[in-house]
């Protein structure tokens, strides 16, 4: 246990002296003082201090939704949907030649069977702890239902199910759901 005592001493020293803003800064400070102390040992000490209530680990507070929205490390889900939707749109406009058509299929499967449900569940299952397999099944099932409802809305709304209309509606629908999910994550972080 002397190793844990050494890591604890380093963590206590830097918590009282430098007041790091993130765990990453704390690890960097501790390792700069003593490179023999591993990151894992420092993280175990930080976790033990968190469990006894000595430190609290919270996500950073953003000044506004626009700062949260533009921070790709905290809002990666929206930017993933944006990249997939944009790439799918560009691929549908390009010539349907063999190598590109395969990537269009892959992006279409993501737009139809995964991303709508993922964004929708981010809105409604904020604090819920769901097993990863259960979450994946829920995301796929929710995506199928939402896309079917969008198709019915397009069909009976007079726009029809033409490929350009369906693809553009699906892209906009995914982007709106992802934007709503991002705002939901932002508001959950502000109230936590």
Same domain, 45 and 87: no
Distance between CA atoms of residues 122 and 145, nearest Å: 16
Dump pLDDT digits (tens) for 85-108: 999 988 888 766 777 678 888 888
Same domain, 33 and 74: no
Residue 175 pLDDT: 96
Q: Which long-range contacts (CB under 8 A, 24 or more apart) does 30-36 make?
A: 34/6, 34/10
**Region 171-192 average pLDDT:** 85
Residue 101 pLDDT: 74
- Indicate the average pLDDT of the chain: 85
Dump pLDDT digits (tens) for 110-163: 999 999 999 999 998 876 788 889 999 999 999 999 999 999 999 898 887 787
Please count the structural domains in the chain.
2
Structural domain span for residue 126: 65-191
Residue 56 located in a structural domain? no
């Amino acid at each position: 246990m002397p190793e844990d005592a050494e890591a604890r001493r380093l963590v206590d020293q830097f918590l009282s002296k430098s007041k790091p803003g993130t765990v990453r800064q704390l690890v960097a400070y501790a390792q700069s003082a003593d490179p023999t102390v591993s990151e894992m040992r420092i993280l175990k000490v930080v976790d033990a201090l968190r469990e006894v209530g000595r430190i609290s680990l919270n996500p950073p507070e953003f000044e506004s939704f626009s700062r949260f929205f533009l921070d790709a490390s905290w809002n990666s889900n929206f930017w993933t949907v944006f990249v997939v939707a944009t790439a799918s749109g560009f691929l549908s406009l390009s010539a349907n030649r063999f190598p590109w058509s395969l990537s269009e299929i892959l992006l279409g499967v993501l737009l139809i069977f995964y991303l709508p449900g993922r964004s929708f569940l981010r809105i409604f299952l904020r604090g819920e702890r769901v097993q990863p397999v259960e979450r994946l099944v829920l995301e796929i099932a929710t995506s199928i239902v939402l896309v079917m409802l969008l198709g019915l809305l397009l069909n009976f709304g007079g726009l029809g199910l033409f490929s350009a209309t369906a693809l553009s509606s699906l892209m906009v629908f995914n982007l709106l759901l992802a934007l709503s999910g991002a705002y939901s994550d932002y508001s959950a972080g502000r109230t936590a």
